[in-house]
């Protein structure tokens, strides 16, 4: 193995578990009997619901309208009838309005016509990204049109495409790279027209060298000015701050954004969604999701409509192979959300659905071993922050850099006492903001 770039500070790399689903080509989920489409599938204010019980909806129709600058439109993934509008609890624990849709048996063939996006101005493309409800699909779900709207006086030196997928189990982005690379690259060219960056880099960890070669060969054949950069396997390299350090060797200062150092980071799956938006005027109404974990009978990568229930995804993978389920996780095991209700719907940022076996961890006490400090990629002192939060000294924890914590879970993963560090930091941020 060659010498690959990475970020220098902290980090861990748990067993990646990608072999469970890595070789599973993308399969299209048969149409479920109902879909639960949340109005809160993005960072920021929930969309305002535009439908009521009994309304008919068409595939791709806007059913939720962005309600603020940081918000995103929501579209119907199918043609059908609204059977209910109700509150739903998402995997994150948030409660939001949702439109429950009963799909028609026969779905129309849509989004076949191609449009020449190269004839459009960058502002028109930016408006199209907004109208199609595109958000970050790596999990953060930040509205993409907001990220791409570069403030006056700033410019983009580097566009970095995040193909790292460093979370264990997840292989959705890998399969998109292998099976839909042409669309990914065209989506990057759309981004190129919007942002006019001086250079474009795709960062991919070295456990996916076949994807690196596949993209490099395609880039060469199309004569695109894109550099594919293999990176050392290290978690949380998929975080934009660590990715920028690994790819362009720049650090985002505390409280600042990537654009403050002349960079924009875009998830690879998001680039593909931008391709579909620009070429077919297709809203973000479906995505590839990895369904995996030791408790799943046949792990798969599935193209499913937004709003699909966890139970339908699990059933399509043959159900559980054991009666003892540890927990269900939306996303990856490090930063994902544990939940228990199988009717929980997937959203635009749902990159994975995991069913894990039970693990018994006895919580001890902090012995100040310093491992959490050593492995924190942000250079923080998790032990001291956690201790102050425990004793309700929230401002002290904030002064120690609590708001810079990315909640990546490196500290909790490495902690020999198995302390609930990330949960503590989430609570500390919430209560610290109120002071």
Same domain, 45 and 98: yes
pLDDT tens, residue by residue, 256-312: 999 999 999 999 999 999 999 999 999 999 999 999 999 999 999 999 999 999 999
411 among annotated binding-site residues:
yes
Specify whether 326 is located in the same domain as 226.
no
Domain end, chosen from 234, 263, 280, is at: 280
Q: Are 247 and 160 in contact (CB under 8 A)?
A: yes
Residue 319 lies in a domain: yes
Could you tell me if 107 and 35 are in contact, meaning their C-beta atoms sit under 8 angstroms apart?
no
On whether 410 is known to bind a ligand per the annotation, the reply is no
Domain shared by 221 and 321, yes or no = no
For residues 77 and 140, what is the distance between their CA atoms, to the nearest angstrom?
21
Considering 228, 261, 280, which residue would you say is the last residue of a domain? 280
405: annotated binding-site residue? yes
Asked whether residue 274 falls in the same domain as residue 126, the answer is yes
Final residue of a domain: which of 330, 356, 382? 356
The pTM (predicted TM-score) of the whole model is 0.95
Q: Does the residue 363 lie in any domain?
A: no
Determine if residue 366 is labeled as part of a ligand binding site. yes
Query: Is the domain of 177 the same as that of 188?
Result: yes
What's the number of domains the chain is made of? 3
Residue 176 lies in a domain: yes
Is 2 a residue whose pLDDT tops 70? no
Looking at the predicted structure, is the pLDDT value of residue 130 above 50? yes
H or E, element range at 204: strand 199-205
84 with 224, same domain?
no
* 96 is a domain residue: yes
Q: Are 257 and 343 in the same domain?
A: no
- What's the CATH code of the domain at 145? 3.40.50.11540
- The pLDDT tens digits of the residues spanning 45-99 come to 999 999 999 999 999 999 999 999 999 999 999 999 999 999 999 999 999 999 9
Burial of 364 (0-12, 13-18, 19+ CB in 10 A): exposed
Q: Does the pLDDT of residue 134 top 60, yes or no? A: yes
Is 317 annotated for ligand binding?
A: no
Q: In the predicted model, what is the mean pLDDT of residues 397-414? A: 96
Same domain, 55 and 166: no
Q: Is residue 14 part of a domain?
A: no
- The verdict on residue 362 lying in a domain is no
Amino acid 140: pLDDT: 86
Consult the annotation and say whether 49 binds a ligand: no
Domain assignment of residue 86, given as a range: 27-102+283-356
Task: Establish whether 376 is an annotated binding residue.
Answer: yes
φ/ψ of 136, rounded to 5, equals: -65, 125
Please indicate, yes or no, if residue 3 is contained in any of the structural domains.
no
* 154 and 118 together in one domain: yes
Residue 1 has pLDDT above 60, yes or no: no
User: For residue 405, is it within any domain?
Assistant: yes
266 marked among binding-site residues: no
What whole-number percentage of the chain has pLDDT above 70? 99
Pairing of strands 286-292, 327-330: unpaired
For residues 131 and 270, membership in a common domain is answered with yes
Mean pLDDT (whole number) for 28-40: 98
């Amino acid at each position: 193995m060659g010498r690959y770039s990475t970020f220098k500070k902290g980090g861990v790399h748990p067993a990646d578990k990608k072999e469970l689903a890595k070789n599973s080509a993308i399969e299209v989920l048969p149409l479920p009997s109902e879909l639960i489409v949340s109005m809160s599938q993005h960072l920021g204010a929930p969309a305002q619901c535009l439908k009521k019980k009994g309304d008919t909806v068409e595939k791709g129709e806007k059913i939720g309208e962005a309600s603020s600058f940081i918000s995103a439109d929501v579209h119907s993934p199918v043609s059908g009838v609204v059977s209910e509008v109700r509150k739903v609890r998402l995997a994150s624990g948030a409660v939001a309005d949702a439109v429950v849709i009963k799909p028609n048996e026969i779905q129309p063939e849509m989004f076949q016509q191609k449009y020449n996006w190269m004839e459009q101005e960058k502002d028109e493309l930016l408006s199209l990204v907004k109208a199609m409800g595109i958000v970050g699909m790596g999990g953060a779900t930040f509205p993409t049109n907001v990220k791409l709207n570069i403030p006056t006086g700033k410019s983009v030196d580097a566009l970095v495409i995040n193909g790292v997928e460093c979370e264990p189990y997840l292989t959705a982005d890998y399969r998109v790279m292998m099976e839909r690379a042409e669309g990914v690259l065209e989506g990057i060219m759309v981004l190129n027209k919007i942002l006019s960056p001086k250079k474009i880099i795709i960062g991919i960890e070295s456990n996916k060298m076949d994807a690196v070669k596949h993209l490099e060969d395609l880039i060469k054949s199309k004569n695109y000015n894109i550099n594919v950069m293999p990176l050392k396997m290290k978690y949380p390299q998929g975080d934009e701050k660590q990715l920028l350090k690994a790819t362009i060797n720049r650090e985002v200062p505390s409280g600042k954004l990537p654009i403050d150092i002349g960079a924009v980071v875009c998830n690879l799956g998001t680039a593909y969604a931008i391709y579909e938006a620009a070429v077919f005027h297709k809203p973000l109404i479906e995505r590839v999701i990895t369904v995996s974990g030791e408790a799943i009978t046949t792990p798969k990568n599935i193209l499913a409509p937004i709003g699909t229930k966890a139970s339908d995804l699990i059933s399509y993978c043959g159900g559980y192979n054991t009666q003892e389920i540890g927990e269900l996780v939306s996303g990856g095991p490090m930063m994902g959300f544990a939940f228990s209700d199988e009717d929980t719907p997937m959203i635009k940022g749902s990159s994975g659905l995991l069913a894990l076996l039970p693990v018994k961890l006895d919580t001890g006490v902090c012995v100040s071993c310093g491992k959490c400090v050593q492995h924190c990629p942000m250079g923080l002192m998790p032990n001291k922050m956690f201790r102050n939060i425990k004793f309700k000294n929230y401002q002290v924890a904030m002064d120690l850099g609590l708001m810079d914590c990315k909640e990546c879970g490196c500290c909790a993963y490495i902690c020999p006492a198995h302390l609930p560090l990330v949960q503590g930091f989430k609570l500390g941020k919430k209560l610290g903001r109120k002071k």
